Amino acid sequence: MTLAEAADSQNTPLETVPRNATSTEAICARILERHRDRVSVRKPHLATANLARIIEAVLKLSSRQSFHEMSLRDLARVSGLSMGGLYSYFDNKNTLLVMILTEVSETVGAVLRDAPAGLDADPAAHLRWLIDTHIRLTEAMQPWFVFAFMEAKGFPAAARAFATESELATERIFADVLARGVAQGVFTVPDIDLTAALIKPLLQDWYVKRAKYRKRGTPIHAYVAGVIAFVERAIART
């Protein structure tokens, strides 16, 4: 099952995350564009397909051990390429880290900033949309987000700074909506920045502790509804 299919099978009619943005192939096409100079294979279809196989293998192997424990021989075996073949798609192992992190950061920013028109006028609806979209995006790209979350520590300094900034940008999107809700008198929030910071881990828990919720049989719509209810009661006008 591909990532996109996994997303589809969980999606409700309220789906807000377009499949064409989250399929492994689509993501790898974007990665390829962004790192064309590191990939020596010139034919785009071939390069995209093989890069997808490589990165899917990285995400699979890194879910059981850390990225640095994964050897390139493991990666060659699981991806189906040879040792030498791998190096046509990246110049060194660390580039794989950077490719994945960068794409996750860019994607989450792009998706969350693309709210349906008119939603700015209704902070409560906008907040619900943000929560729903964030959780569904991380569900559709779960291995990517887990990887970025768990391996961020080992990134080169520049990439780590970029990831941190991306995190803060997401938080700011939530803080803005909270501020607008307070201004319109629909929310009561004593500390907007702290509240935005507290909403974040509620969204992340769905992918960080995915195994727990799967074992428990919690469907995604129940989790989304639970988080929305929890947050809305916590910030409801008093």
Partner DNA sequence: AAAAAATTCGAGCGCTCGCTCGTTTTTTGG
Partner DNA sequence: CCAAAAAACGAGCGAGCGCTCGAATTTTTT
Tell me which residue of 80, 91, 23 sits closest to 54, measured CA to CA.
80
Closest to its own copies by CB, 47 or 173: 173
Tell me the one-letter amino acid at 91.
D
Q: Number of residues interacting with DNA: please give it, by CB under 7 A.
A: 25
Tell me the one-letter amino acid at 229.
A
- Residue of 1, 13, 64, 84 that binds DNA (CB under 7 A): 84
Cβ atoms of residues 218 and 212 within 8 Å: no
Closest to its own copies by CB, 86 or 227: 227
Q: Number of residues interacting with its own copies: please give it, by CB under 8 A.
A: 43
Q: What are phi and psi of 62, to 5 degrees?
A: -75, -10
Tell me which residue of 106, 224, 130 sits closest to 178, measured CA to CA.
130
Based on the shown chain and the rule CB under 8 A, indicate whether residue 236 belongs to the binding site for its own copies: yes
- Residue of 12, 66, 82, 184 that binds DNA (CB under 7 A): 82
Based on the shown chain and the rule CB under 7 A, indicate whether residue 56 belongs to the binding site for DNA: no
Quick one: CA torsion of 101, 103, 105, 108, rounded to 10 degrees? -140
Q: How far apart are CA 145 and CA 137, in angstroms?
A: 9
Q: Which residues bind DNA (CB under 7 A)?
A: 40-43, 46-47, 50, 68, 70-74, 80-85, 87-88, 91-94
Residues in the site for its own copies, rule: CB under 8 A?
Answer: 63-69, 150-151, 153-154, 164, 167-168, 190-191, 193-195, 197-198, 200-202, 204-205, 208-209, 212-213, 216, 218, 222-223, 226-227, 229-231, 233-236
